[in-house]
Amino acid sequence: MINNINLSFEEMWDKIMACDHKYDGLFYTAVKTTKIYCRPSCRSRKPKKINVTFYKDIQAVEAAGFRPCKRCQPEVEHSPHIEIVKSIVAFLVTHYKQQLLLKDIAENVGLSPYYLERLFKQETAETPRTYLEKIRVDKATYLLKSTKLTNIEICYEVGFQSPSNFYKVFRNLTNCTPSEYRKGFQHEVDRL
């Protein structure tokens, strides 16, 4: 099953509940009761958590006897550059804690930094840097919900180099501070 990216079952579950397209191609959601598999961004009705298994690639999920969803068509490649973009995204997801420069990412996938950035932006409408920031904020929100780490500890744990940048990026992407996010999440849990 999953072994090439650093996501827990709970994080992958969060991604499919949010229909997060950033993780398309990195893993697939297989539903045991329907024998269908989907992309993380699929908008179909969500299955029960106990009926879900995650796979890292199409070959593994199909070998396990699942068939592709007709709605999200996970077996169809949407771009000739999709494999390169998947490689870049997988590298970002796996190395998000590290201080990454564009040249590091480019060396990993065998492209020039200029071409990599242009291709990535063309395919995702984002730069590798903004994509990496979203991955880091995703990780931070998960840690804010599931740990008692301080905001500063989370800042460094998810790869930000300075608290001021962490707070700025977090606010831009979530419209609140990390403390407000944690407090808001805690109020939701208390109401349940």
Catalytic residue numbers read 38
- Return the structure tokens found at 118: 């242009």
Cβ neighbours of residue 16 under 8 Å, at least 6 residues apart?
Answer: 29, 38, 40, 42, 46, 52
What burial class does residue 59 get, using C-beta atoms within 10 Å of its C-beta: 0-12 exposed, 13-18 middle, 19+ buried? exposed
CA distance 92 to 110: 15
Other beta carbons within 10 Å of 17: 11
Q: Is 49 helix (H, G, I), strand (E, B) or coil?
A: helix
What burial class does residue 53 get, using C-beta atoms within 10 Å of its C-beta: 0-12 exposed, 13-18 middle, 19+ buried? middle
CA distance 171 to 183: 14
